[in-house]
Amino acid sequence: EVQLLDSGGGLVQPGGSLRLSCEASGFTFSNYVMSWVRQAPGKGLEWVSGVSGTGANTYYADSVKGRFTISRDNSKNMLYLQMHSLTAEDTAIYYCAKHLGGLNTHFDYWGQGTLVTVSS
């Protein structure tokens, strides 16, 4: 059974940093592109970043480019999102999501999400 366990969220001050983690199980992690998708309170879904199976290729939304870094450790079946220079606009539930296969495939599994709150 595919499982994605998001963690690492919390309260952080504006300008601060946070690292999110996603522990994957139930599938061959290195074979799949993974992404982060966020949802601000009461709002819609926004794709944030994606990473290829090997980790060699990364992709970002303009809203986070230069501030967020996606990475993965295939030996540990872990996905990460390092976030810097956080602002109130980054407040959201962050979901890790597994692609069906390559980059241009849909998300077939989602984590439960981890809440990031940026506030002083």
CB-CB contact of 70 with 52 (8 Å): no
* 28 contacts another protein (rule: CB under 8 A): no
Among 35, 79, 81, 118, binds another protein (CB under 8 A): 35
Among 13, 85, 87, 112, binds another protein (CB under 8 A): 112
Q: How far apart are CA 51 and CA 53, in angstroms?
A: 7
* 110 contacts another protein (rule: CB under 8 A): yes
Q: Which of 27/110 has CB closer to another protein? A: 110
Stretch of 8-16, 24-32, 70-78, 101-109 contacting another protein, by CB under 8 A: 101-109
Q: How far apart are CA 53 and CA 7, in angstroms?
A: 21
92 alpha-carbon distance from chain centroid: 11
